[in-house]
Structure 1
Amino acid sequence: MPSERHPAARYVVTGTDTDVGKTVFAAALAQALGAAYWKPVQAGTDEAGQGDADVVARLTDSSRVTVLPGAYHLATPCSPHRAAEIDGVGIDPSRLDLPAHDGPLVVEGAGGVLVPLDRQRTYADQFARWGLPVVIVARTALGTINHTLLSIEALRARGISVHGVAFIGDSVPDSEETIAAMGAVRRLGRLPHLDHLERAALAIAFARGFDLADFAA
């Protein structure tokens, strides 16, 4: 794993849907870049009581990756807009401003690009406000072409730069190539499903599946 950091590398990681693997990819990217990681809104936790930031901390080296505190930690495991309502919390847009952090940064959204933050705004609207390039994480499974192309359209309709698509799962070259061609988007690489998801294995899989130069600036 290279020791240098990439100060110009600042990305939003989003997905075509929930549970596509964007937290695992975000951890791998943050580790490779030596970046800070920020999940602004966490809604619910897993069976072990961990949120996405906890997963990233477990899968990265703290000497390279700084896990920044999120703005909101909601108890209810559902869409942030509804979780906030159930928890009696109002999501203040000013608290979602990018953290004051010099150097590389990986910001993780929630679910897909049109997941609501409240009854008026979606994550895509927030991405436009941030002005960072977006990496879309997509499954290679059936349905991914439709989901990914729709995500690309939704982002570009808001003037958001789509840096590329990172695939998760078994190799399905035709689907990956079709998305890249029809979406006019960069095919960044692919992470396979790992039998044992741990830090070293993830770092190796990222190095094999992606070219770090594609994220250097």
Structure 2
Amino acid sequence: MIQVRRAEERYRGGEPEAGIESRHAFSFGPHFDPDNLRFGALIACNEERLAAGAGFDEHPHRDTEIVTWVVEGELTHRDSAGHETTVRPGDLQRLSSAGGVRHVERNDGAGPLCFVQMWLAPLEFGGEPAYEVVRGIADGTPYAVPQAGALLHLRRLADGERTAVPDAARAYVHVVRGAVRLGEERLAAGDAARITDGAGLELQGLAAAECLVWEMGAEPGYV
């Protein structure tokens, strides 16, 4: 089964007056939707746009795997475990908040910042926080998030190029840029597909496209 969610269906959030614009794919904050709480391990897929100088002040997380993909600009990250990094396009950042961590996310650059941030529920709660940045992750290289039982695949597709969607109990496709075809559906930037028990599916680039594809199991309680 394939369920397509369009970019315009996302919940609008953030603080536009403070230079923060957010688009939420799942129930988030005041935008509560009991029928859209999660898909597999994925509990958030947010498109964030920060103006120069804008950002999220120090705030807490716990028992969440947070994976961030920068689309444009530079993201400054600082956390209570002592990490301070600048994350750029092509870099993948993961913060395992585990038993609890606080962090700051800001646009300290001169231009706009756009990033996609995805939150996953862990298989077990607690533990020690962990942090990692993979610089210049290669196309097609899977990135494992074992704490959530999930794999992330980055795919960059030229016009007409095809790639297989993982055969999995749950797969989630988010189009970062460009456009792709999945079965009979055309997906543009910001669109997503939630795939249950898919087999033999392909993505075809319709223009230079970049996609984030989650491969997930069917753990008890996941919907």
TM-score tier after normalising by the smaller chain length: 0.3 to 0.5
- TM-score, normalised to structure 1's length? 0.33
Higher RCO structure (Cα 8 Å, ≥6 apart): 1
More strand by share: 2
